[in-house]
Structure 1
Amino acid sequence: MNTLQHTLRANRGFILFLLGLALFRTAVADWNPIPSASMRPTLLEGDVVLVNRLAYALKLPLTDIVLLRLSEPQRGDVVTFSSPAGGTRLIKRIVGLPGDRIAMRGDVLLLNGQPVGLDGPQTRGETVAPGWVVDAVRATERLEGRPHAVQFLPPLRARRDVAETTVPPGHYFMLGDNRDNSEDSRVIGTVPRELLIGRAHRVLVSADWLGEDGWRMAPRFGRWVTAIR
């Protein structure tokens, strides 16, 4: 016991630093690695994004208990949240606010009965698995003055048509920018506000770790410290 007490006293500064860092990450700001392709081309596997946990609310650390609301989530925000279907941490884009009517027809998102414009579609090869390249269509989606890139994978054509649904009070409709390769509100349902973790607003660092052999590590310096649109 004396040895343990001596060790704790000797390392008190480092222990306090770790506790402070943990509280900072759970209450103020966090960084989130991107493990999947669901937000391509906006976010790539190997990106590490900075998440502002105070963007919408001050929460009791290590809980979803909201102590103070700070601002309202906006359409077009890229957010991290706990999935209502299992609790997995996900990162998607808010496309529907409480009371919005959301539907999809083919490649087009309908917001309150009006199609959201898609500009400049271009086709390019996209690797969806080692050795498997498909034709992908990329375009700019104009979501109420928040233009951002989206991607469609015609060979997959997943969940292109979604019947109109009204977002319940206190909930948000999420979509991945990679529309045919994303587990979002089309699968998990709308997301209650208390499950929002924070807004992702910047890529901190990025490295390409996918190659033809399934593994490669090459820094993408051009993506370091870049704003997320």
Structure 2
Amino acid sequence: MNIRPFLRENRGFILFLLSFALFRTAVADWNPIPSGSMRPTLLEGDVVLVNRLAYDLKLPLTNVVLLPLAEPRRGDVVTLSSPADGTRLIKRIVGLPGDRIGMRDGVLVLNDRPLSYSSSHTLGEIVKPGWVVDAMRATEDLAGRSHAVQFMPALPARRDFPETTVPPGRFFVLGDNRDNSEDSRFIGTVPRELLIGRAHHVLVSVDWLGEDGWRLAPRFGRWAMAIR
């Protein structure tokens, strides 16, 4: 097969595909949420928009930083490559370089000050089809940036860890679903170059997990929702 005529006849479409791939790997991306580690902020079935230029301009398809653009902020929801195994994760930055981070009985301690929690209430939370546990939701004041968190006392979880200082160039991340998240308590702090981008809006959302099994229903109320 002579590939040259094919390339010549389809060069416009091929250039479009290449440009689209470059856009997704260097400028903006979208990520489906496959797990409940960021509940209640993000739900399984959400698709989030990610700004890959929020912090750094990188060489496409690599973690090589070409130009720093802005500093990550405490409270940002970010996608990242796990320093443990490279898995793509989505978490919230709770510790910046130089911060002292600890946890006591589920309460986050930042620079020697326990964070405050308000508006707490309890509800039933679906862990998987057919398994519902009690969950407590509250608003956490993360040094002036408030956001929702969730605790599930019935699940085994790491609710205590000694104070640690975040090293230079690294960030401490946690899931908002504190008792059901693989985050810096397990994978360690995250180097800046492994931050992929900042998640800023839910693009679309579909409810695919029900108490009695699988289902598929659009969550129109979450479409185009800003992520706090």
Question: Which string of whole-angstrom CA distances, capped at 9 and with x for unpartnered residues, describes residues 159-199 of structure 1?
Answer: 01111111011000000000000000000000000100000
Structure 2: segments with no counterpart, 5+ residues: none
**Equivalent residue of 2:21, what SS?**
helix
1:202 aligns with 2:201: yes
> Paired residue for 2:167?
168
Equivalent residue, structure 1, for 2:133: 134
SS at match of 1:63: coil
Q: CA RMSD in A?
A: 0.9
SS of the residue corresponding to residue 70 of structure 2 reads coil
Aligned to 2:69: 70
What SS class does the counterpart of residue 209 from structure 2 fall into?
Answer: coil
For 2:200 and 2:222, the matched residues in 1 are separated by 13
Assess if the C-alpha contact under 8 Å between 2:207 and 2:217 holds in 1.
yes
Q: How many residues are paired up?
A: 228
Superposed CA offset, 1:84-106 (max 9, x none): 00000000000000010000011
TM-score, reference length from structure 2: 0.98
**2-structure distance, mates of 1:212, 1:134:** 11
Partner of 1:28: 27
Q: 1:145 matched to which residue of 2?
A: 144
Secondary structure of the equivalent of 2:210? Answer: coil
Assess if the C-alpha contact under 8 Å between 2:131 and 2:211 holds in 1.
no
Q: Displacement, 1:129?
A: 1.2
Distance 2:12 2:205 in 1: 31
The 2-side partners of 1:153 and 1:202 are apart by 26
Give the deviation of 1:214 after TM superposition: 3.3
Q: Partners of 2:179 and 2:119 in 1: how far apart? A: 19
Q: How does 1:38-117 map to 2 (within 5 A)?
A: 38-117=37-116
Deviation at 1:10, TM superposition (A): 1.5
2:16 aligned residue:
17
Tell me the distance in 2 between the aligned counterparts of 1:25 and 1:96. 28
Aligned pairs (5 A) from 1:190-229: 190-229=189-228
Shift of 1:47: 0.3
Letter in 2 for 1:162: F
